[in-house]
Amino acid sequence: MSEPLDTTPYDAAYAAATTDPEAFWGAAAESLHWDRRWDRVLDDAAAPLYRWFSGGELNTCYNAIDHHVLHGRAEQAAVIYDSPVTGVKQRISYRELRDEVARFAGVLRSLGVAKGDRVVIYMPMTPETLIGMYACARIGAVHSVVFGGFAPHELAVRIDDAQPKVVLTASCGIEVQRVVPYKPLLDRALELATHQPSHCVVLQRDVHPCALTPGRDLDWRDSAAAATPVACVPVKATDPLYILYTSGTTGVPKGVVRDNGGHAVALKWSMKHIYGVEPGEVFWAASDFGWAVGHSYIVYAPLLAGCTTVVHEGKPVGTPDAGEFWRVIEEHDVRVLFTAPTAFRAIKREDPKGTFFGRYDTSRFRALFLAGERLDPDTYHWARALLQKPVIDHWWQTETGWPVASNCLGLTAFPVKPGSPTKPVPGYVVHILDDDGNELPSNKEGAVAIRLPLPPGTLPTLWRDDARYVETYLSRYPGYYLTGDGGYVDEDGYLFIMGRVDDIIIVAGHNLSTGSMEQALASHPDVAECAVIGVRDALKTQLPIGLVVLKAGVTRDHATIADELVQVVRDQVGPVANFRQVAVVTRLPKTRSGKVLRRTMRAIADGDAWTMPPTIDDPATLEEIGTALRSLGLAKGPGSPIGG
């Protein structure tokens, strides 16, 4: 039966992936090289622990690198390294990358690393980090990248859980103009850890070399120079490629597992169909290796698709100015950029009129994708007006590994609704559920859940903890994966993510989204960034408090602006919000990946003891928040950090 004439490519793909996922993803898998074809596309024998491409064997490194060397892309740039903090630029061809990865895989092999062994990677934004990840994939070892500069205790916890045979590290990382010595942090972590790796391989950086521990530590370059290259080792499609730890509600990190087969299939498919990128083009994910974005869209997806990836060691502002993104786009012919909204808010704050943008030729640039946090409409409109190119809000999680909802440029570009990541990506069946698991009608806010089975590329389980995986994600609504986010679907099928479920506050018996209040605050012309937190109130259970960062150059009276902001929320959300208090601050406290630390700010406001987040970008921001909250009559309790 033929498709209706008005069916879009997106509609056709979504229907196919929903009604017959095995046929849909089986067809997508044909574009990869398999050493052994799968027995089953979707294996439900241990449901709800589903597996993809069971019985199949392949190698992720071969598909991402060696395959392209053998099929016409040997001299194409695989990696462009651009480090404004050191002044180093480097282009690495697919052939050169294959040779370096093969040699470093030989280093790991010489240190006794074999299929299934773990390797922890604690490194900065350098090509060697990517090389180390692919070297693990080449021999079937499981890598676990820990964000460089993570606190020793947090690193030790991850070392004890993953139990690596080898740790890869560097002498230091560079944050704008600040050098962060990694080796002392690793040494302290190993003092705290119960498990001890047999060796640490250390990349010595000229800006800050370090002392090596005799008998344990090896020099990266010396080891690679002496190594014998090794070939790719086929692994099962269901074997783990990597472990990526994410925060857990109990304080014990959750080891998100990514397999080899489903991961390669989904990521390669996503490059063309979501991002609209073709082989040979330059794709830039301005993130960090330590986060899910870095794994998926700096390291693996671009190379699986035969593209060129950019490894950028710098920031959107300050290295050296707010024109850094535009310089990289022009200089390296970037066609699509993927970054976090916080990066564009930083650029907007420093250069609200887009003066730097006009200095560069970005005519070949096609689209900007934003994810990692809510994209407020004000930032969307600013970026869209500046770029005059599509600005795509899309939504996904560490656990999913690739987008759940997006305007899929490679399928059908739908009209944008600011505040929405558009529609679910083919493969994801999203439902909005109430507390009893009933599906809610359009425009009713509830829990965002994804019907099982999840598509390929998502987490099949947690590292060595199936029970915790089921308890955390699958038990609340049987037959569904619980995302932990709240939101709604409108009458046109557009998904709106309004924030974590624990960011829904209860004001006088009403469930209210802090995201909707933030959206109202962000619409004020003087506001660059904002956050709303719910603080305890004896009468109304909780009350919302606004924290705002003003745009550069705003000199108006802060009290006047605060009054205007209260009125904006009253007008856009309603009096039911009981929104009455706003504090102006110079910066919001964030993780290094750009997520605002709302939970920590809420604990400070409520006077609860709190833990200094190990991923915080600048601890001093919490001191300013405490001062601002005290000025509002809050944070009167003990408010002491635990171990902070």
570-620 confidence digits (pLDDT tens):
888 778 789 999 999 999 999 877 888 888 899 999 998 888 887 787 888
Give the per-residue pLDDT at 432: 97
Q: Rounded to an integer, what distance in angstroms lies between the CA atom of residue 325 and that of residue 356?
A: 10
Q: Which two tokens stand for residue 549?
A: 């960062």
How far, in Å, CA of 501 to CA of 516, rounded? 13
DSSP 3-state of 463: coil
What pLDDT sits at residue 637? 64
Helix (H, G, I), strand (E, B) or coil at 610: strand
Strands 235-236 and 254-259: unpaired
Helix (H) and strand (E) counts for the chain? 20, 33
Angle between the N-to-C axes of helices 9-19 and 21-29, in degrees from 0 to 180, rounded to the nearest 10: 110
Decide if pLDDT at 342 tops 90. Answer: no
Residue found under tokens 């480097």: 90
Lowest mean pLDDT among 120-134, 588-602, 621-635: 588-602
**Is the bond leading into 638 cis (omega within 30 degrees of zero)?**
no
CA distance 246 to 334: 30
Tell me what pLDDT residue 642 has. Answer: 45
Pair 289, 330: CB distance under 8 Å: no
To which residue do tokens 């002044």 refer?
Answer: 87
Q: Which secondary-structure segment (H or E) carries 597?
A: none
- Whether the per-residue pLDDT at 266 is higher than 80: the answer is yes
Looking at every residue in the chain, the average pLDDT score rounds to 93
Q: What is the pLDDT of residue 643?
A: 39
pLDDT class of 541 with cuts at 50, 70, 90? confident
The first and second tokens of residue 521, run together, are: 């605050």
Phi, psi for 537 (deg, rounded to 5) = -140, 130
Overall average pLDDT of the 65-85 stretch? 98
Res 162 pLDDT > 70? yes
Compute the distance between CA of residue 29 and CA of residue 427 in angstroms, rounded to an integer: 14
Q: Which residue type sits at 489? A: V
Q: Distance between CA 503 and CA 508 in Å, rounded?
A: 16
- The predicted-structure confidence for 397-431, as pLDDT tens digits, reads as follows 999 999 999 999 999 999 999 999 999 999 999 99
The maximal CA–CA distance of the chain, rounded, in angstroms, is: 71
Give the mean model confidence (pLDDT) for residues 491-499. Answer: 92
Question: Which among 250, 262, 245, 366 has a CA at the least distance from the CA of 304?
Answer: 262
Q: What was the pLDDT predicted at 3?
A: 45
Name the amino acid, one letter, at 634. Answer: L
The DSSP secondary structure of 513-535, one letter per residue, reads EHHHHHHHHHTSTTEEEEEEEEE
Average pLDDT over residues 126-145: 98
Q: For residue 436, with 0-12 CB atoms within 10 Å meaning exposed, 13-18 middle and 19 or more buried, which class applies? A: exposed
Q: Count Cα neighbours of 176 within 13 Å in the Cβ-side half-sphere.
A: 10
Residue 634, pLDDT > 80, answer yes
Per-residue pLDDT at 177 exceeds 90: no
- Residue 81 corresponds to which amino acid? Y
Please give the model's pTM, rounded to 2 decimal places. 0.87
What's the CA gap between 283 and 445, in Å, rounded?
35
For residues 475, 477, 483, 488, the Cα torsion angle rounded to the nearest 10 degrees is -170
Q: Which domains does the chain have, with CATH numbers?
A: 9-314+394-488 (3.40.50.12780), 508-642 (3.30.300.30)
> 596-607, pLDDT tens digit by residue?
888 889 999 999
